[in-house]
Each structure stands twice: as structure tokens, then as C-alpha cells.
Chains A and B, each alone.
Chain A
Amino acid sequence: MLGYIIRRIIVMIPVLFALTIFTFFLVRLVPGNPASVMLGPRATPEAIASIEESLGLDKPLLVQYGYFMRDLLQGDLGDSIRKKQPVTTVIGDRIGPTLFLVFYSMILAVLITVPMATVAALNKERWPDQIVRIFTLGALAMPAYWVGMMLLQLLAVKYKIFPVAGYGDGFFGHLYYLFLPAISLALAIAALTIRSLRSSILETLGSDYVRTARAKGLSGRSVFSWHVMRNSSLSSITLLGLIFVFVIGGTTIMETIFSIPGIGQLIVRGIFDRDYPVIQGVTLVIGVIVLLTSLVVDILYAALDPRVKLS
């Protein structure tokens, strides 16, 4: 097991390395440069040159990359050009709200998924199943930000049940403030997980060992709750892992609409400001999270399913 984890982590290194190279050069391909953003329309070429020099942007790209890697190996992601703070600090300040939002929406999604998928599976091809199907197709096809705006109009502006924007204070404050963005994302996530869980429940119900369990005299309910759910959740866990990866890089618009100070806004602002260290830092952090998540998912999978052996 440990050997497996170590091997997986070693495989990550070239991928992350490629990621740093790619991001590094992509951001520099984009027209515009941080010095002119800092100095605005009235900047003189000399002023821009002098800022570029102070940021080290006048050096050959490979040299710049070398410096970046040297600092990176010491755990230093450089300083944000715009915010004049270490990128690690900037990301540290912002990753909390994003992670909170992502986990919150995934938990809400699970709470929606389990009952709906179960009802759908147990009533296969009957009307409850069709209703769930329509729900999932609709939820999948709606832009999450549009759902967010609609809920905002209804629940925050019209009925004033929820706050209109912000992150709130303390754990319960976050729960309250982030409910609307989280439920908007959760609907989109649930659209995927319900379908996946439904089909795995159906598959498990049809499998030999459930029949065996029934034959052994276990009641329908206990067979369902333990055997079926345990086995059906496997594919959903994989899926949740993949969704996590997707959502963490895709909260930008939601963060904009609800004024949440997360990394989604940070990276888009970073791109618009040509804040190279921030872009590099955030993509690297997201990359690490993504790769670690897929590792965790595989380990969980093995832990839950005795048939799977990690090798």
C-alpha cells in the first residue's frame, strides 16, 4: 500500500513539472504584461522597462523559469505582482472560501443524490424514475450561474431569506452565506451523481451476491441498506472525486456573482492583471489537489471494494 502511494506520487512529479512549464509559457504568450498593468495607460516605455527589470521580466524566459523553479523547490511561489504579497499567503487567504464552497456543495449534492437515486432505482422505469430523470437532465443543462442568479432573485431579493453576497463569519456564518452558491453548484453535481448512483444500484441489485443475501433470508431492507449501498457507492465515490476536481477549477463565476473571495476569482483576476506568479501558483496548487484527489479516490476505492487490489 505504502509502496503504491509512493509510486503514484513519483509519477505525479513529471506531470506537475510539465504543468509548471506549460503555465509559465502560456501566461507569457498572452499579450500584455504586468508592468503596463501596474503603471496604467500613462506609463512611459522607460517606466515599464524599469518595472520589468525590477520584476526580473527583462531576463531571458529560460532564466526566468530557472529562478521560478529554484524558488519553487524552496517552497516559495514568488510574490504577487499586483498584491505585493507572497503568492503562498495570497492563495492561503483565498483557498478557504473556495474549499468550503466546494465541500459544502458536494455534501448538499450527496444529500440530494442518495434519496433521489434510491427512489429512482427502486422504481425503475416507473413515474418516480422518470421524474428523477427529468430533474437530472434539467439540472445538468442549466448554467449553474444562471440558477444562482435565479435563486438570488427569489430567495435573497424577493423573500430575503438568504444574504445576497459575501462569505460570512465563523462556520455557521459561512454555511448561511454560502448556501445559495452551494446549492446552485450542488444541483449541477447531483445531476451527475444521481444518474451514476441509480445505475450502480440497479447493477448491484441484479448481481449474484444480493440474490444470495436474499436467499439467505436477509430482509429486503437490510440487504438494500448494507450490501447494495456499500457496493453502489463505489462508482459514485470515483465520480465525486472527479467532480471535486472539476468544481475546484470552475467556481470562478459563482464567486463573482456572490462576491466570495476565493481562488476562482483570484486566478481570473490574475490572468486579467497578468499577475504571472499568482497564475502559476494557483494552477500548481490546483494541479496538486487534482492529482492527490485521484490518488485518494483510488485508495478509497480499494478500501471499500475488496475485489480491487492496488498495484
Chain B
Amino acid sequence: MAFDAPIKTRVQLKDSELAARQWDEWRATRRQLMKLGAMGGAGIAALNLLPATGGSTRALAQDAEPKMGGTVSMSMADSDATSFDPPVPVDNMSIWTMLLFYDQLVRVNADGTAIEPGLAESWSGNEDATEYTFNLRDATFHDGSPVTASDVAFSILRAKNQEGGAWNFILSAIDTIEAPDDKTAVIKLSKPWAPLEADLAMFSASIIPQSLVEEQGDDFFQHPIGSGAFKFVSWEKDQEIVLEKNPDWWDTGKPYLDGVTFKVLPDSNARMLQFQGAELDIATSVPFNQLQSLQSNPDVKVVLDPVARIDYITLNTLVAPLDDVRVRQAINYAVDKQAIIDNVLFGYGEIANTFLPKMVGHDDSLPPYPYDVEKAKELLVGTAAENGFELELITQAGDAVDTQVCQLVAAALAEIGGNITISQVDGATLLDAVFSPDPNFEMAKVYYTTDILDPDELATFGVVSDGGALAIGSSYKNETVDQMVLDSQSVLDPEERQSMYNEIQRLVQEDAHFLYLFYPSGRTAVQAPIQDFHILPTGNYRLYEVWRDDV
């Protein structure tokens, strides 16, 4: 389904089309790479031009010439950032902020459809895709020192070997990184690794200055230095983070803005009130219930973006009656997701059909579980839940949307004999109950987002039984699925990989280890002078392309 209301936004594509397009382009790039690999690494520039220029789905605002200058204030809606040490944070606020002042070898393009050059001007892979050579451009860190290949090797290996790091697996295929000269980094893999480029665009693979980090240790990350579009200025904990323009950035001419101030405003009322009072230029995570009235306000713009996020209820497959696949399927049939989208999201979302959000690799053709109470009741016949069942549904305290979703789910399950008790718990309790090695819960409302333009990250966490997240709490285990995800990592042919992913999504959906709910829209409100603000599917934002037309 598309959005109900006519929506004032420059994103013309529906989420599904965009996702399809992403995948097509990703495939195109990949095919090029294969071809080039076969040719022995010639014609690299042609390859890399493709995603950078190829088919932008997002027209720039009125095709106007961006103006230089001015600053913006923007909300940090979840909480304050926690750490700017690239491989450390797991919270989006830290991650998205880091991406503005650190560079990576490659980055996600403006449409969020493909990988484009970052610190690496160009790159090439060998025939069997186990060795990649990256050619660095002339770039400098904010302190003026040049970015060298040894900084690259240091940063990426540091991220890969981070003790206790949550992201090590992302870079686990990397064996060694050599720096034959200052501007060339050679990454050797232990096996062919399809998601490599997407992985290198990730925040954890940010390039940081080796000498300073070694000299300052942890202190470095309190006032970090990168080579990115913005320089870090100050960080007043729980209040604001200030960044200023890096005039010497390699992407000449950008950023347009002189600076950005992030205000920590986790309370949605405080955030929207500040936005209404024009104390805030960009308000993120706009509450669903205020979108309509904001859209009718001519002084502000509402920007809706497809973001790769899925909201779902994880079902603990170890406890009765959820250990029975029929019960889990019945639960999926019994809930009217459209009603949730209409009444809680006020229409700003889509029904989730697979464990992957709308992103590269998502199978759009797979029909979601339809709302069918009779079918659900049929499925329950002969199961332990035939004569009713009692389950506890936990959700994070203080999240109004989640609480409302849970109420509708509980009411829907009551129709098939479910007696659902909702418990709000704080985040740490939820983590402990759901994601500990010994899960202690029945149902939990959670969500996840992706950080890379490749389905491998979410497949590893979401469905692989030993992927490190117990298949996001459900203790789901399907050996066929495990093997297929593993196999797909070294499948370099995009079409073959997509068809494997389609099969994975179908199998996983059938096993119903989640109650699939919805893909919410990314919702940002900006003041009228703010131009070209968008959220990428990975959730971050290219503030270096944002400008004000009132300067």
C-alpha cells in the first residue's frame, strides 16, 4: 500500500519502487564489478561513475542553485550520542552523527541506492573477489594531516578486532590490509565476500588518524578528528553537539552550511514545540499524529523518506504454545496490520511482508500474511492454544507508539482466544529479557534498522540461529535458512543472490518467528528555508547537501 493522503514531499517513488530500484542498481554495479574483475581490474573509473551518476530518484529542490552559508539546528530524537569511537556505539544517534565528521572508503549515495566513492577515488577487485585495491584521493584530516593508506589499515583493522565490539562480524571476512604506498590500500579477504563494499561504507569502518588515536587513547573520541564534511566542535552531554563546516573537504564546494547544532530532544512534545517556535530547523521522528496538521502548514515542509526499518513482535519459539509454528502463523493471521497502520501510524507506513525492511534484497512480491481470523482459528485447532492461551507482551516503557501497537495486537489476539498481558519495561530490562543468551520472555515489541546497503547484516541478526542475536531474541533455528545465508555471502552474482534471498524470506516468513507488523516512514519536519534534507534508507542524512535559501 502507498500513503493514503496526498503527501507534500519530493519523494515521488513509493517505498516498494525505490527498493526495487535500489536492488536493480546494486545489481548493475555488481555485474559491472564482476565483469571488470574478469578483465583484471581495468576501467575502474567507469564502474565507479555508474552509481554516482546513475539514475537519481530524487530530484533536487526546484533545481535551484544551492546557496552557501547559514547554520541549522536539528534534533537528536532518541537520546544523546554515547560514543564517537567508530566500532563502539550501537545507538543510531552516535552512528548518524559520526558519519558527518568521519569519512569511510566508500559511502552510500544520495538516493541510498548504491555505493559511491568516498575517501577512495576508485577501487578494483581481483578475479575471485578476494583482494580489493582502493586508491585514496588527496584528503586531509581536520588537523591538516593527510589521510594515508596506513590510517585506513589501522582504522579498519582496529574496528575488526575491537574487543567485545558488536560490529566485528561485519568486517570479519577481512584478512589483512596492506599499504604499498600512502595512497593505496589493499584489502585481502579470507573468502569471497559479497557485502564488502556495503560494509566498508559503514560507520564502524570510519577512517581515523592513527597517530592521534594512539597518542590520545580514549580522550580522542571526546573531541574526535576525522576527514569528513563537518568538523567536531563541542559536545555538551545531553544538551547539544556542535559541528562546523570543513572548508577543506575533498568533495569540493560542500558542505553548503557553515555549521550544524544537534539538540538532544528525546521528548517528542518538547521537540515539536521547539520546532513550532522555530527554535529548531529540522525536527526528526515527528510523531505520526502530527504529520497531517504539519502538512497543511505552509511555513514548514514535511519530508517523508523510505527508511529501512521493520517493527515487529518477536515470538519466543522456545515457550509453549509459541514453539508450535501453527500458533505463530495463527498469530500472524489474526492481527489486522492495516488497522494498526491506519490508527497508530495515521497511514504513514506499510505492512511488513518479510523480515527485511524495504531495502536492497527485499522481496516485494511475497504477499504478507493476510488478516484472516477464520484461518487463524483453523490453524489453532489441534495445538496447545486451541482452547485459549495466555501470553505476556513486553514493550519499552515510554514509547507511546509501541504501547498503542501492543494494545491493538492484544485486542486482535483476544479474538482467537489469546489473553495477552502487556508489560512496559525499561530498555535494559527488555534487552536482558529478550537478547540475553537465555531469553526470558514470551512476546516482545521491538524493531530494527539496517546500517548497510546489503541484506547480509539483517539476515545474520534476524534469522541466522548463531548470528549473534539469537535471531533477534526468538531463538529461531532453521538449518536450511542458516546455510542459505552463509552461502549467499560468497555468491557474487546478484541475480542468484537475490533469488536465494527471496527463498530465505519465504522460508522465514513461513516459520513465523516474528509477528510481522509494519515498515514505518521516515518522518522529518523542516522549516521552509531548509532545502534538500533527506534521510537515507540507512537512517542517516547527508547534511553536507542541505542548504538554506534564506542566506
The reply on B54 being an interface residue by CB < 8 A is no
* From B222, B432, B461, contact of A32 by CB (8 A): B432
The interface residues of chain A lying within 8 Å CB-to-CB of B236 are 93
* From A42, A83, A273, contact of B468 by CB (8 A): A42
The reply on A60 being an interface residue by CB < 8 A is no
Contact with A along B204-234 (1 / 0, CB 8 A): 0000000000000010001000000000000
Give the CA-CA distance A90 to B80 in the complex, in Å: 14
Give the CA-CA distance A107 to B220 in the complex, in Å: 43
Contact B426 A271 (CB under 8 A): yes
Give the CA-CA distance A83 to B218 in the complex, in Å: 12
The interface residues of chain B lying within 8 Å CB-to-CB of A93 are 236-237
Give the CA-CA distance A47 to B79 in the complex, in Å: 23
Contact A82 B468 (CB under 8 A): no
The interface residues of chain B lying within 8 Å CB-to-CB of A38 are 82, 90
Output the nearest chain A residue to B440 by Cβ-Cβ distance.
A31
Contact B238 A50 (CB under 8 A): no
The interface residues of chain B lying within 8 Å CB-to-CB of A217 are none
Tell me the minimal C-beta distance from B264 to chain A in angstroms.
8
Given known contacts A40-B90, A259-B267, A265-B238, A51 and B164 CB-to-CB distance under 8 angstroms: yes
User: Which of B37-45, B268-276, B346-354 lies on the face that meets chain A?
Assistant: B268-276
Give the CA-CA distance A259 to B263 in the complex, in Å: 10
Contact A41 B446 (CB under 8 A): yes
The reply on B163 being an interface residue by CB < 8 A is yes
User: Which of A16-24, A66-74, A122-130, A155-163 lies on the face that meets chain B?
Assistant: A155-163
Give the CA-CA distance A259 to B270 in the complex, in Å: 7
Contact with B along A160-184 (1 / 0, CB 8 A): 1001111100000000000000000
Contact with A along B132-172 (1 / 0, CB 8 A): 00000000000000000000000000000001111000000
The interface residues of chain B lying within 8 Å CB-to-CB of A48 are 164
Give the CA-CA distance A274 to B427 in the complex, in Å: 10
The interface residues of chain B lying within 8 Å CB-to-CB of A44 are 166, 468
Output the nearest chain A residue to B168 by Cβ-Cβ distance.
A47
Output the nearest chain B residue to A82 by Cβ-Cβ distance.
B82
The interface residues of chain A lying within 8 Å CB-to-CB of B435 are 36, 41-43
The interface residues of chain B lying within 8 Å CB-to-CB of A157 are 273, 276
* From B163, B222, B426, B469, contact of A42 by CB (8 A): B469
Contact B267 A84 (CB under 8 A): no
Q: Which of A33, A164, A271 has the largest number of chain B CB atoms within 10 A?
A: A164
Contact B237 A47 (CB under 8 A): no
The interface residues of chain A lying within 8 Å CB-to-CB of B90 are 38-43
Contact B426 A272 (CB under 8 A): yes
Give the CA-CA distance A12 to B490 in the complex, in Å: 66
Contact A31 B429 (CB under 8 A): yes
Give the CA-CA distance A47 to B83 in the complex, in Å: 17
The interface residues of chain A lying within 8 Å CB-to-CB of B91 are 40
The reply on A292 being an interface residue by CB < 8 A is no
The reply on B437 being an interface residue by CB < 8 A is yes
Contact A274 B428 (CB under 8 A): yes
The interface residues of chain A lying within 8 Å CB-to-CB of B274 are 164-166
Give the CA-CA distance A30 to B425 in the complex, in Å: 12
The reply on B239 being an interface residue by CB < 8 A is yes
Tell me the minimal C-beta distance from B119 to chain A in angstroms.
26
The interface residues of chain B lying within 8 Å CB-to-CB of A82 are 82
Contact A273 B237 (CB under 8 A): no
The interface residues of chain B lying within 8 Å CB-to-CB of A94 are 238
Give the CA-CA distance A38 to B237 in the complex, in Å: 17
Contact B166 A257 (CB under 8 A): no
* From B265, B269, B431, contact of A257 by CB (8 A): B269
The reply on B125 being an interface residue by CB < 8 A is no
Output the nearest chain B residue to A45 by Cβ-Cβ distance.
B437
Contact A272 B166 (CB under 8 A): no
Give the CA-CA distance A63 to B419 in the complex, in Å: 45
Contact with B along A1-41 (1 / 0, CB 8 A): 00000000000000000000000000000111111111111
The reply on B481 being an interface residue by CB < 8 A is no
Given known contacts A41-B446, A50-B164, A256-B267, A163 and B277 CB-to-CB distance under 8 angstroms: yes
The interface residues of chain B lying within 8 Å CB-to-CB of A274 are 428
Contact B432 A261 (CB under 8 A): no
Tell me the minimal C-beta distance from A187 to chain B in angstroms.
21
Give the CA-CA distance A230 to B139 in the complex, in Å: 73
Output the nearest chain A residue to B90 by Cβ-Cβ distance.
A40
Contact B277 A164 (CB under 8 A): yes
Tell me the minimal C-beta distance from A275 to chain B in angstroms.
9
Contact with B along A260-274 (1 / 0, CB 8 A): 010001100101111
Tell me the minimal C-beta distance from A184 to chain B in angstroms.
15
Tell me the minimal C-beta distance from B164 to chain A in angstroms.
4
Tell me the minimal C-beta distance from B467 to chain A in angstroms.
9
Give the CA-CA distance A37 to B426 in the complex, in Å: 11
Contact B270 A41 (CB under 8 A): no
Contact B473 A41 (CB under 8 A): yes
Give the CA-CA distance A266 to B239 in the complex, in Å: 12
Contact with A along B335-368 (1 / 0, CB 8 A): 0000000000000000000000000000000000
The reply on B436 being an interface residue by CB < 8 A is yes
The reply on A46 being an interface residue by CB < 8 A is yes
User: Residues of A at under 8 Å CB distance from B?
Assistant: 30-51, 54, 82-85, 90, 93-94, 152, 156-157, 160, 163-167, 256-259, 261, 265-266, 269, 271-274
Q: What are 11 A-B pairs with beta-carbon distances under 8 A?
A: A38-B90, A41-B461, A42-B435, A42-B461, A157-B276, A164-B276, A165-B267, A166-B274, A256-B267, A261-B238, A271-B426
The 4 A-B residue pairs whose C-beta atoms are closest, nearest first, are A40-B90, A32-B428, A50-B164, A164-B273
User: Residues of B at under 8 Å CB distance from A?
Assistant: 79, 82-83, 90-91, 163-166, 218, 222, 236-239, 265, 267, 269-270, 273-274, 276-277, 279, 426-429, 431-437, 446, 448, 461, 468-469, 472-473
Supplied contacts A41-B448, A90-B237, A166-B274, 11 more A-B pairs, CB within 8 Å: A31-B429, A34-B428, A38-B90, A41-B434, A42-B166, A43-B435, A85-B237, A164-B279, A166-B279, A259-B267, A272-B428
